[in-house]
């Protein structure tokens, strides 16, 4: 494919995808240091996943008194916040438009380091959408915020600035493969996105249970790397390593330990963080999650009951 032809194709897919991307404006009530009421105005991005249904970040609309979205071809529309999940940093909004164009959702499990991606949104609250191009820099990243830990993120060097939060990360087929969620302010060219498969499970869970439900074991994990396998001469090549355990959690009470390598959950292989999370969420309503764990050159089994909480 010639460069001109490639450029034209990219331009066409961005034009098409941008029809589904919105700018999100919020008004959040606040009290200043002198105990005076004031309203803080914010801006972010979002995109249609179904007619009239918009996904964005939880931190974009959290505690907002009013949410207005700027929809291509329609202008400003008031939006209703349906659900907010701070643990996934996802939220769903509803607008009274039924002929909006949903963005096709891809498969984030197929992403590879080096894949070309595009971040679409409204950086710095400027009227958008605008686009930046980059590659997938890494997969399965974990970042810790002030009150939250986000796991299994897609790292990209596509420019993601304040205001991009909630906007889509799309692939060369014009499919959403992630939701832009965070930047590292002291780093150059590092941004993160929530995998679109996490968004799919989020929506499916709401449709199934009528609310945001969180199931957890109390472990923080990271994917097993080839370097670690070679360094420690491990007989397993895939799995996730437990790097921290929440005191008093089911994982703590049932004897899981830092350094354990989880290789299977409910008889399915665990290769990345999302595999474990999916198994835990699929266990809602079951007695426990059956784990196969490699520890100290031995394979052991654990049956750990998840904690199930209604988030919103």
Q: Residues 80, 38: contact at Cβ < 8 Å?
A: no
Beta pairing partners, 91: 56, 84
The chain-wide mean pLDDT, for the chain, equals 88
Per-residue pLDDT band at 260 (split at 50, 70, 90): very high
For residues 219-242, give the mean pLDDT: 85
Residues 305 and 216 in one domain: yes
* Gap between the Cα atoms of 81 and 65, Å rounded: 10
| Pair (71, 23) in one structural domain | yes
Query: pTM (2 decimals)?
Result: 0.81
Residue 103 inside a domain? The answer is no
Are 200 and 233 found together in one domain? Answer: no
Catalytic-residue membership of 165: yes
What is the model's pLDDT at position 146? 64
- Alpha-carbon distance of 158 to 130, in angstroms, equals 12
Residue 145 is part of a domain; what is its CATH number? 2.40.10.10
Domain extent for 184:
108-204
Q: Does residue 100 form part of some domain? A: no
Three-state DSSP at 16 gives helix
- The structure tokens listed for 81 are 């916040």
Is 89 one of the annotated active-site residues of the chain?
A: yes
266-312 confidence digits (pLDDT tens): 999 998 888 898 899 888 878 899 999 999 888 999 999 998 887 76
Q: Where are the alpha helices (DSSP H) in 20-92?
A: 58-61
9 and 90 in a single domain? The answer is yes
Q: Point out the catalytic residue in the list 18, 20, 85, 89.
A: 89
Which of these is catalytic: 59, 85, 157, 260?
Answer: 59
Exactly one of 18, 108, 165, 283 is catalytic; which is it? 165
Output the six-digit token pair for 125: 């609250």
CB 215 within 8 A of CB 292: no
Same-domain check for residues 200 and 226: no
Whether residue 171 is contained in a domain is answered as: yes
């Amino acid at each position: 494919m010639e460069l001109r032809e490639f450029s034209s194709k990219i331009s066409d897919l961005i034009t098409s995808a941008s029809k589904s991307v919105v700018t999100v404006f919020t008004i959040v009530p606040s009290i200043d240091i002198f105990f005076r009421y004031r309203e803080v105005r914010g801006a972010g991005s979002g995109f249609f996943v179904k007619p009239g249904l918009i996904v964005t970040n939880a931190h974009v609309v959290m505690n907002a008194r009013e949410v207005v979205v700027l929809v291509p071809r329609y202008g400003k529309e008031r939006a209703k916040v349906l659900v907010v999940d701070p643990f996934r940093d996802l939220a769903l909004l509803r607008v009274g438009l039924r002929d909006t164009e949903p963005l096709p959702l891809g498969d984030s499990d197929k992403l590879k380091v080096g894949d070309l991606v595009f971040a679409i949104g409204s950086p710095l609250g400027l009227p958008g959408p605008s686009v930046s191009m980059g590659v997938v820099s890494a997969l399965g990243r974990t970042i810790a915020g002030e009150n939250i830990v986000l796991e299994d993120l897609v790292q990209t060097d596509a420019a993601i600035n304040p205001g991009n939060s909630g906007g889509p990360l799309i692939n060369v087929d014009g499919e959403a493969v992630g939701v832009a969620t965070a930047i590292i302010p002291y780093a150059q060219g590092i941004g993160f996105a929530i995998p679109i498969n996490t968004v799919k499970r989020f929506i499916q869970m709401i449709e199934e249970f009528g609310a945001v439900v969180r199931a957890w074991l109390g472990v923080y994990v990271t994917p097993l790397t080839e370097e670690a396998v070679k360094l420690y001469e491990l007989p397993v090549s895939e799995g996730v390593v437990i790097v921290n355990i929440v005191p008093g959690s089911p994982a703590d009470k049932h004897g899981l330990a830092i350094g354990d390598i989880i290789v299977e959950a409910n008889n399915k292989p665990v290769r990345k963080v999302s595999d474990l999370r999916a198994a835990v969420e699929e266990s809602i309503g079951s007695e426990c999650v059956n784990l196969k764990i490699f520890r100290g050159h031995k394979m052991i089994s654990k049956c750990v009951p998840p904690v199930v909480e209604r988030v919103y």
